[in-house]
Amino acid sequence: MTDLGWQQLLQSISNADNAAGLRRIRESVHDIMISRLPQQQTEPFYGELNDVHDAMVRRCIWLAQKELARLGKGNPPVPFAYLLFGSGGRMEQTLLSDQDSGMIYADPQNEADAVHCRDYFELLGKETVQLLLMAGYPLCEGNVLSSNPDWCSSASVWKARLGEWFREPAWEAVRYLLIVADSRCVYGSAELHADMMSHFYGDILSSPLIVRRMLDNTMKHKVLLNVFGQLLKEQYGADAGSLDIKYGAYIPMVNAVRMLAIEANLRETSTLGRIRLLEQAGVVTAEDAREWMQTFRLFMRLRMMTTEKLEGGQFSTNGKLSARKLSKEMAEELKSGLKLGKKLQRRVYRHTMGRL
């Protein structure tokens, strides 16, 4: 597809009148991108694909506001920001991506306004999530959604909630903080989000206990290599013989790079962007950055190749790749990448513990 054709596709998303129209576009994009995967470079591929996902989200938010106005609920009473978390926040969504979202809105002037704002944005979050579901985006299994009041709040409530998570660094609270670390404003007031993240980083960099708990979480997922340097395959069930690319390659590297970026106070969210900034900040050498980016691009490409299927009319994937899909050369390349991933995890552990 030419650049003009791609711009026309994005424009068709902006012109869609309903979720059904967006779903048809999503399905056509799926077919287009699958055909382009073998010959297109990984980074531009993900860039274009995530531009589509962003456009879909923005259109659903616009349609949701239009529906609320039709129902007599009016327009947004205060500025707000719609946030993406997870792979959406990192601009690393695959073709088959679920929803990970939240909202932050400006503090209302008084209690009456607070009730009105809460009610309006609760409805907006629910309507947006429903439209995205109808457009082919499954719900987040962990309920990290703008329809969940825990993830849709005013600026002051968000800051108070972050404070609670910092004061009680239980495993779940630390997981939520790491989710926030990957957040990105996709629609609305970028200033609201930036202010929240300044609060986030101000607290995190002065909390050694939180940093230690984050390190524990970061090291949870191990790369899929055994002590002999062989690939660890799924042993049982329908996925027996497959490789867990998501949790055995991609996520360990995402987590390790994010940890280094947080400690360096770098506000970038994409993994490749974080690596570039780590190099610029002198945290890693140019050679290390080059190797890390090369390995991460490999993991991203393999992740795109993972088993895909339709479940209940929704796009879905389990993040696992049949070992039969790997050529001998790709398998060796994966092993080399995983060895680098192991070294990276050890480096992050030593780096973080040395600062505590």
Domain count for the chain: 2
Q: Report if residue 200 sits inside a domain.
A: no
CATH number, domain containing residue 120:
3.30.460.10
pLDDT at 156: 97
Q: Is the pLDDT of residue 351 over 70?
A: yes
The predicted-structure confidence for 114-128, as pLDDT tens digits, reads as follows 999 999 999 999 999
pLDDT at 2: 66
Q: Give the length of the chain.
A: 356
The amino acid sitting at 327 is S
Q: Which residues pair with 154 in a beta bridge?
A: 105
On whether both 239 and 106 belong to a single domain, the answer is no
Query: In percent, how much of the chain has pLDDT > 90?
Result: 76
3-class SS letters over 60-117: HHHHHHHHHHHCCCCCCCCCEEEEECHHHHCCCCCCCCCCCEEEEECCCCCHHHHHHH
On whether both 299 and 321 belong to a single domain, the answer is yes
Q: How far apart are CA 131 and CA 135, in angstroms?
A: 6
- Of the residues 193, 219, 253, which one is the last residue of a structural domain? 193
Per the structure, the complete domain to which residue 337 belongs is given by 207-356
Q: Which two tokens stand for residue 188?
A: 């609305």
Q: Report if residue 325 sits inside a domain.
A: yes
Q: Report if residue 278 sits inside a domain.
A: yes
